[in-house]
């Protein structure tokens, strides 16, 4: 994945919200938190749970399967059972477009 892909409109994603989009054949979660927009891999590193079906609390997204939590800004695990971080992607805003690109 070398190019940025438009995944949505910033005006449609309020702070505290997130969306799931396909970027370069991978599902990513794009979250809007107080610090800005961030994108991480949608698959939990513990057992493949869908983070896009989870909940966002501040800067942490929780996997609905076993409760692992990840910081959407860094991809780092904040609460196990996951031990490995999720991949992160670059995000930029152009006008009202949210674009996601390489990590």
Kindly report whether the global pTM for this prediction surpasses the value 0.85.
yes
Q: What is the pLDDT of residue 1?
A: 42
Q: What is the pLDDT of residue 21?
A: 97
Quick check: 86 and 45 in contact, CB under 8 A? yes
What string of pLDDT tens digits covers the 103 residues of the chain?
A: 458 999 999 999 999 999 999 998 999 999 999 999 999 999 999 999 999 999 999 999 999 999 999 999 999 999 999 999 999 999 999 999 999 998 7
Q: 61 in the Ramachandran plot: left (φ > 0), alpha (ψ -120 to 50) or beta?
A: beta
Q: What is the pLDDT of residue 16?
A: 97
């Amino acid at each position: 994945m070398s190019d940025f892909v438009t995944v949505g409109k910033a005006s449609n994603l309020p702070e505290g919200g997130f969306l799931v989009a396909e970027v370069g054949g991978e599902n990513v979660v794009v979250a809007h938190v107080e610090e800005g927009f961030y994108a991480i891999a949608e698959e939990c590193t513990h057992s493949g749970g869908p983070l896009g079906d989870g909940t966002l609390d501040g800067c942490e997204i929780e996997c609905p399967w076993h409760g692992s939590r990840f910081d959407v800004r860094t991809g780092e695990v904040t609460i196990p059972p996951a031990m490995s971080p999720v991949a992160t992607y670059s995000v930029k805003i152009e006008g009202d477009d949210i674009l996601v690109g390489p990590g």
